[in-house]
């Protein structure tokens, strides 16, 4: 059983399982799936009530906080006990090597995504500025990729369709136009 759980699952198993979570949340509890709203809930726990954006009853959304805690705990358990493997193509490693990324910790480039990498210019751009842009984009788009792509598209939301198309275009622009220049730093 442990071998079955620790192996990568094919898309035609994991995709429908994830997709079934959306109607289950809607039909059973009238809740919408999304992860980025947890940042607002966490801030609302500690922010002064004088800030209108955080002045709401975040306790009504505590189920979502439990969901994100379960996600983090599950990732930790998988990493610590199941020894998951992620297969990255040799072509990807070769391309990153050509662009100056040589150290890898699993599939993440340790040259960039590490404490030492954070102190470099390209690490700062990738982690701090990239993190800010992701957070800003999530707030500006009124949701994250999982909320729009999984929940919003299942509700036939035009705004979510526009957001998902924007996510893909942004990913392509970053990968092919911006990333080579950042990695050259």
For the chain, give every domain's residue range: 1-84, 88-185
pTM to 2 decimals? 0.69
Angle at which helix 37-46 crosses helix 62-77, to 10 degrees, equals 110
CB 114 within 8 A of CB 105: yes
* pLDDT exceeds cutoff 90 at 113: no
* End-to-end Cα distance, the chain: 46
What pLDDT is stored for residue 126 in this prediction? 83
Tens digits of per-residue pLDDT, 59-79? 888 888 898 899 899 888 887
């Amino acid at each position: 059983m442990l071998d079955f759980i620790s192996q990568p699952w094919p898309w035609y198993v994991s995709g429908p399982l994830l997709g079934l979570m959306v109607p289950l949340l809607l039909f059973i509890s009238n809740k919408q799936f999304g992860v980025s709203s947890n940042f607002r809930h966490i801030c609302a726990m500690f922010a002064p009530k004088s800030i209108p954006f955080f002045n709401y009853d975040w306790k009504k959304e505590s189920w979502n906080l439990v969901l994100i805690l379960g996600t983090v705990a599950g990732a930790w358990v998988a990493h610590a006990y199941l020894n998951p493997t992620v297969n990255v193509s040799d072509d990807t490693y070769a391309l990153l090597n050509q662009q100056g990324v040589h150290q890898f910790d699993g599939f993440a480039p340790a040259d960039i995504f590490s404490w030492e990498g954070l102190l470099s210019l390209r690490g700062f751009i990738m982690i701090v500025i990239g993190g800010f842009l992701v957070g800003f984009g999530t707030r500006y788009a009124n949701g994250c990729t999982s909320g729009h792509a999984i929940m919003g598209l299942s509700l036939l939301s035009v705004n979510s369709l526009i957001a998902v198309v924007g996510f893909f275009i942004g990913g392509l622009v970053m990968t092919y136009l911006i990333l080579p220049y950042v990695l050259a730093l």
